[in-house]
Structure formats: structure tokens, C-alpha cells
């Protein structure tokens, strides 16, 4: 890869720009202290893009995304744009990016930092040390399958139709992502579907099993039905390493797993495309949370989800594992030291602002790089 990695930053709306400011400080730190050069471009997306250009996803933003190696996204949306036509809503910016960049694998880690184990809705012993990676298929399945729609029937009633559909290629490419991740983790993949009732799930199970036998026999593969997976996630979550599943089941299970970790302000995510012939993977990285209009501009936003999304970007798109681990370790240490933004505040801890949390992460990075 060229020395300077091309990074497109899209802060978006609400708290997006606030949490992105803290990431930019880390990027500057990486540049100054680790000699890592990034060519950073900033673009418009969401409501701010609509205000400036009349579109939530301007052509310039698409062009900049296609010309970049990775995209770091903030958040989009806000009540002032809720009345707009669907095609102009800020969320179109995000959906447009995912589609145009052909990002088919959504990675949602559910990691419980030791210092936050008490913030989970489950008992500490069930979640302390939890580290799950959910890989959700993002561009197929029932959210996109045809036929779809609502039709009027002759008797005056209506009929709503959606279609759960998967092809061999769609299943294999996302399963491959899961197996590759498991190889770098604890070597276990749970493939989750409903093959007891759905043919598309039976195909899913067949294809995952076939790919496993052909190329990934060193990874352990277990199959689990989606209803059981939901139960197991809250019964004994630490049994999981990597879970791979369909768009619909992944949507639900990843939110369920997220809540095991306690806070929306801590959750990063990645959406990845296929590797190019040189093995480079284009990705879009973003916190799971939205634009949080209720706390915008008050210094209350937790920047850690955006910072951890940047760490994922370094790990998966730029192959900079050392730098990613440095950031993860700094986050862990700052939390262990007792600093908390308001959303994760606990008795006896010290409350800090968005900038205060950024300061603490930078100080910790300094300490570790000294």
C-alpha cells in the first residue's frame, strides 16, 4: 500500500462532528508520533449535506468515497429533517454509501471492557471479558428480495409480501469474512439461520458447511438456529467467538449482543466489501449510535464508539494491528482509571466531557508510546 492512506471523513449531523473531532486529534497524534501519514479529506453527508447541496448524498461525496481507501462516518439525522421525502432524508446518505461501495459484511463487535462489566443488564460473571464478533450479511436477504410490496386483494383486504432470498455467492463471500476473522481470533464460527423452516436457510447451512470443508477446516464451525442463538446470547454469551448470519437475523442479534455491553456510546462497527486482487478491503466504519440530537452541542457525547470505529478501520482496512491495539488498550486503561462520560457514569467515577475523554485517550497514547 502507498505510504499515505486515503481516508475520507464524514462527520454528518448532531454529535457526529463532536465525536469526530476527537478522532482527528488521534489521527494527528498518529501522524506526529508514529509517522503514519493519512491523506484526510472531509466530506458532507446527511442533513448538513442536504442543507448545503440539496442532497443527503452529493455526487462529490460518492466520488470522494470511491477515491478513498476507507471511510470514517459519524452519524446522520435529526428532527429538522424528519418531514423530508424519503429520498432526501439524511439516512439515504448512509444507505447510498453502503450500496455504492458494495459493502456486504457488517461487523459488530460486542466487547465488554472490564471496567464497565457492571453496566451490562446481565450479571458481571456472565459478561466480564466478553468478546464476540457478529458478522451480518448486509446487502441481501429479505430486506432486498423480490417480489416485495403491498397489494390490494379483490375482497378489499391487503397482502404484504417480502422475500428471503440468498444465492451461493452471497453466502460464501460473507461466510469467508467470518472464517477469516475467526482465524485471527479464537477459531470458532457459529453460523446462525432457521434451516428447520426456511429453504434459504437450508441453502445457507449447506454453503457454509461446504466452504468450511473446502478451505477452513482449521476453524471450528457450529450451526445454531436463530431462536436458540437469541437465547444463548443472554444465557451464556461467552460461548461465542464469531457469529455469521443473514441480514434479518443479524439486525436483531447484533442489537441484542450490543446491549450485553451496556452502552450505545461504546459500540463501533465496520461494513466491508470484497478484497480486491491485491487483498485490499474497502470499508466504511461508524459508531452504532445515531446523531443524538438530545445532547448535541453540550459536550456530553461519548467519543469512544467513534474512536473504536477508527481502531477497526486501522485493523481491517489498513492492516495496522499495532496501532489498533494501542487505541483499544488506551480506551481500556482510561476506563480502568475511572474516567467516564455522562452516558456511562457510575458512582465514584470522575465525569468528563467529550473533549475531556479525548484528552485522556491522547495522554494514555503518549504514555504508551513513550
What positions carry a catalytic annotation?
Answer: 143, 194, 227, 251, 255
Nearer CB in complex with ligand NAD: 301/327: 301
Which segment (211-219, 234-242, 286-294, 325-333) binds ligand NAD by CB under 6 A?
A: 286-294
Q: Which is nearer to ligand NAD, 78 or 109 (CB)?
A: 78
Cis peptide before 147 (omega within 30 of 0): yes
Of positions 92, 289, 315, 340, contacts ligand NAD by CB under 6 A:
289
Residue 301: CB minimum distance to ligand NAD, A: 4
Three-state SS letters, 155-215: CCCEEEECCCCCCHHHHHHHHHHHHHHHHCCCCEEEEEECCCCCHHHHHHHHHHHHHHHHH
- Which grid coordinates belong to 129? 471479558
- Residues numbered 326-345 forming contacts with ligand NAD, rule: CB under 6 A: 343
Stretch of 208-216, 301-309, 331-339, 358-366 contacting ligand NAD, by CB under 6 A: 301-309
Residue whose cell numbers read 470499508: 283
**Structural contact between residues 74 and 10, judged by C-beta atoms closer than 8 angstroms:** yes
Give the Cα separation of 286 and 344 in Å (integer): 19
CA 207 – CA 191 distance, rounded (Å) = 11
Q: Which is nearer to ligand NAD, 140 or 268 (CB)?
A: 268
CB closer to ligand NAD out of 165 and 349:
349
Task: Please state at what angle helix 247-260 crosses helix 226-235, rounded to 10 degrees.
Answer: 10
CA angle 52, 72, 337 (to 5 degrees): 120
Query: Which residues in the 55-114 window bind ligand NAD by CB under 6 A?
Result: 75-78, 91, 94
**Count of Cβ atoms closer than 10 Å to residue 239 Cβ:** 13
Count of chain residues binding ligand NAD (CB under 6 A): 21
Binding flags for ligand NAD, 250-269, as an x/- string (CB under 6 A): --------------xx----
Nearer to ligand NAD by C-beta: 134 or 305?
A: 305
With a CB cutoff of 8 Å and minimum separation 6, the contacts of 94 are 45, 46, 73, 76, 286
User: Would you say 141 or 268 has its CB closer to ligand NAD?
Assistant: 268
Stretch that binds ligand NAD, among 35-43, 138-146, 154-162, 282-290 (CB under 6 A): 282-290
Alpha-carbon distances of 46 from 20, 74, 167, 355, rounded to whole Å: 15, 10, 32, 24
Considering only 292, 312, 334, 335, the residue that binds ligand NAD (CB under 6 A) is 292
Distance of CA 336 to the CA centre of its chain: 24
**Does 170 contact ligand NAD by CB under 6 A?**
no
Q: Kindly write out the interface string for residues 13-52 of this chain, putting x where it contacts ligand NAD by CB under 6 A and - elsewhere.
A: --x-------------------------------------
Confirm or reject binding of residue 294 to ligand NAD (CB under 6 A). yes
CA pair distance 239, 237, nearest whole angstrom: 5
- Choose, by CB under 6 A, the member of 139, 246, 271, 302 that binds ligand NAD: 302
Q: Which whole-number Å values give the CA distances from 268 to 58, 63, 73, 111, 184, in the listed order?
A: 25, 25, 11, 10, 19
Site string for ligand NAD, 177-216 (x = CB under 6 A): ----------------------------------------
For ligand NAD, the closer of residues 43 and 77 by Cβ is 77
Q: What does the binding site for ligand NAD look like in residue numbers (CB under 6 A)? A: 15, 75-78, 91, 94, 264-265, 286, 289-295, 301-302, 305, 343
Amino acid at each position: 500500500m502507498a505510504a499515505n492512506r486515503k481516508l475520507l471523513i464524514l462527520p454528518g449531523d448532531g454529535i457526529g462532528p463532536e465525536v469526530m473531532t476527537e478522532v482527528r486529534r488521534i489521527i494527528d497524534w498518529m501522524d506526529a508520533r508514529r509517522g503514519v501519514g493519512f491523506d484526510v479529506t472531509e466530506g458532507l453527508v446527511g442533513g448538513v449535506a442536504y442543507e448545503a447541496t440539496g442532497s443527503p448524498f452529493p455526487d462529490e461525496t460518492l466520488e470522494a468515497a470511491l477515491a478513498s481507501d476507507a471511510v470514517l462516518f459519524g452519524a446522520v439525522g435529526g428532527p429538522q429533517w424528519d418531514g423530508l421525502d424519503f429520498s432526501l432524508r439524511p439516512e439515504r446518505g448512509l444507505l447510498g454509501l453502503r450500496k455504492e461501495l458494495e459493502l456486504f459484511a457488517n461487523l459488530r463487535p460486542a466487547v465488554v471492557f472490564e471496567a464497565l462489566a457492571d453496566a451490562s443488564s446481565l450479571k458481571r460473571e456472565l459478561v466480564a471479558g466478553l468478546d464476540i464478533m457478529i458478522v451480518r450479511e448486509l446487502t441481501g436477504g429479505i430486506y432486498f428480495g423480490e417480489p416485495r410490496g403491498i397489494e390490494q386483494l379483490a375482497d378489499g383486504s391487503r397482502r404484504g409480501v417480502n422475500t428471503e432470498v440468498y444465492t451461493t455467492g452471497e453466502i460464501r463471500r460473507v461466510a469467508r469474512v467470518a472464517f477469516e476473522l475467526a482465524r485471527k481470533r479464537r477459531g470458532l464460527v457459529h453460523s446462525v439461520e432457521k434451516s428447520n423452516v426456511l429453504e434459504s436457510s437450508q441453502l445457507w447451512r449447506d454453503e457454509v458447511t461446504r466452504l468450511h470443508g473446502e478451505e477452513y477446516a482449521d476453524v471450528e464451525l457450529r450451526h445454531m438456529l436463530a431462536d436458540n442463538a437469541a437465547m444463548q446470547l443472554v444465557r451464556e454469551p461467552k460461548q461465542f467467538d464469531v457469529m455469521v448470519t443473514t441480514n434479518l437475523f443479524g439486525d436483531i442479534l447484533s442489537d441484542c449482543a450490543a446491549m450485553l455491553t451496556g452502552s450505545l456510546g461504546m459500540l463501533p462497527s465496520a461494513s466491508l466489501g470484497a478484497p480486491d486482487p491485491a487483498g485490499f478491503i474497502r470499508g466504511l466504519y461508524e459508531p452504532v449510535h445515531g446523531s443524538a440530537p438530545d445532547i448535541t452541542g453540550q459536550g456530553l457525547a461519548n467519543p469512544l464508539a467513534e474512536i473504536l470505529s477508527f481502531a477497526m478501520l486501522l485493523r481491517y482496512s489498513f492492516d495496522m494491528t499495532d496501532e489498533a491495539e494501542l487505541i483499544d488498550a488506551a480506551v481500556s486503561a482510561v476506563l480502568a482509571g475511572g474516567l467516564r462520560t455522562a452516558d456511562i457514569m457510575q458512582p465514584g467515577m470522575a465525569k468528563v466531557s467529550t473533549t475531556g475523554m479525548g484528552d485522556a485517550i491522547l495522554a494514555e497514547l503518549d504514555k504508551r508510546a513513550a
